[in-house]
């Protein structure tokens, strides 16, 4: 992994204000709602979530292992969440036996992994026969723009490409679901533009590890409810546009 990239995300995990706001973001809320609905409905026995960071998408069970490359992220998650188990691991070299999990989740992770096919192979390997793999991913290559570069996406996917990668490791798609539409793309381009302006105007380096600023605590309720309201609009946008214009898709596949 690129050392600069690792340090950048480590700084995010250390900053209290980032932790406060991250779990209220509208796009995270919609992904989380869609995935939890599937896992609760299927009464998943034992779940692995890779790349959970500080924002796991399944939080309603103790029968889960959160796996993440950053020790600091998992420490933060364990402090704030506490349920389940926590394992520092590379998604392309998972330290688990074959067929040990009934479900595995990769939500907005594969696009960050240089060797994404190896990560998919590992997710298939740790699933039992009949187990389910749930993946969400940024859709359509023509949407790849400055916001993708900012968050260091290695790629965006075409649906047929992702289906092919899953089928190559004996995971047959059962469900393809729209999560977000073009509004999400417009929103993120705008947000990243504002973030860059703020970074340009900042007078010195950030000071991670200082805890949560008072202003962030005060702004949290407003940010929370604004994102919940915006999530309704983004959900409707995702449903109304045709699938070939979706910006984020979900696939549930079965290990065969």
pLDDT, tens only, 45-83: 999 999 999 899 999 999 999 999 999 889 989 988 989
Q: For 128-152, what is the mean pLDDT? A: 96
Q: Which fold has domain 3-255?
A: Rossmann fold (3.40.50)
Distances (CA, A) of 86 to 102, 149, 159: 17, 29, 31
pLDDT at 21 over 50: yes
For 60, how many CA atoms within 13 A lie in the half-sphere containing its CB? 12
Instruction: Record the tokens describing residue 185, joined without a space.
Output: 């793309």
Q: Among 55-59, 176-180, 215-219, where is mean pLDDT lowest?
A: 215-219
- Of 253 and 204, the structure prediction assigns the larger pLDDT to 253
Spatial distance between the Cα atoms of 106 and 127, rounded to a whole number of angstroms: 13
pLDDT at 155 (0 to 100): 97
pLDDT mean over 192-203: 70
CA proximity to 177, closest of 18, 5, 37: 37
Tell me how far apart the alpha carbons of residues 18 and 121 are, in angstroms, rounded to a whole number. 32
Q: Say which range, 9-23, 39-53, 203-217, 225-239, has the weakest mean pLDDT.
A: 203-217
CA–CA distance, 149 with 54 (Å, rounded to integer) = 21
CA distances 193 to 85, 186, 243, Å, are: 37, 11, 27
pTM above 0.75, yes or no: yes
């Amino acid at each position: 992994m690129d050392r600069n990239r690792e340090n950048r995300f480590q700084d995010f995990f250390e900053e209290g204000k980032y932790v406060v706001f991250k779990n209220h973001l509208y796009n995270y809320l919609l992904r989380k709602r869609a995935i939890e609905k599937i896992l609760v409905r299927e009464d998943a026995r034992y779940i692995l979530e890779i790349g959970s960071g500080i924002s796991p998408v399944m939080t309603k069970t103790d029968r889960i292992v959160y796996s993440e490359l950053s020790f600091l992220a998992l420490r933060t998650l364990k402090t704030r969440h506490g349920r389940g188990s926590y394992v520092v691991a590379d998604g392309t070299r998972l330290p688990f036996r074959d067929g040990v999990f009934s479900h595995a989740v990769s939500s907005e992770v594969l696009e960050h992994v240089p060797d994404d096919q190896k990560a998919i192979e590992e997710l298939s390997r740790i699933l039992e026969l009949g187990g389910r793999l749930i993946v969400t991913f940024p859709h359509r290559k023509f949407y790849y723009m400055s916001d993708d570069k900012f968050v260091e996406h290695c790629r965006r996917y075409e649906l047929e490409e992702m289906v092919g990668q899953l089928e190559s490791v004996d995971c047959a798609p059962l469900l393809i679901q729209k999560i977000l539409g073009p509004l999400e793309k417009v929103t993120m381009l705008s947000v990243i533009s504002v973030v860059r302006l703020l970074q340009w105007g900042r007078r010195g380096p950030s000071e991670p590890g200082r805890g949560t600023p008072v202003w962030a605590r005060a702004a949290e309720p407003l940010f929370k409810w604004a994102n919940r309201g915006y999530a309704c609009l983004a959900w409707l946008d995702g449903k109304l546009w045709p699938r070939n214009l979706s910006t984020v898709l979900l696939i549930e596949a079965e290990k065969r």
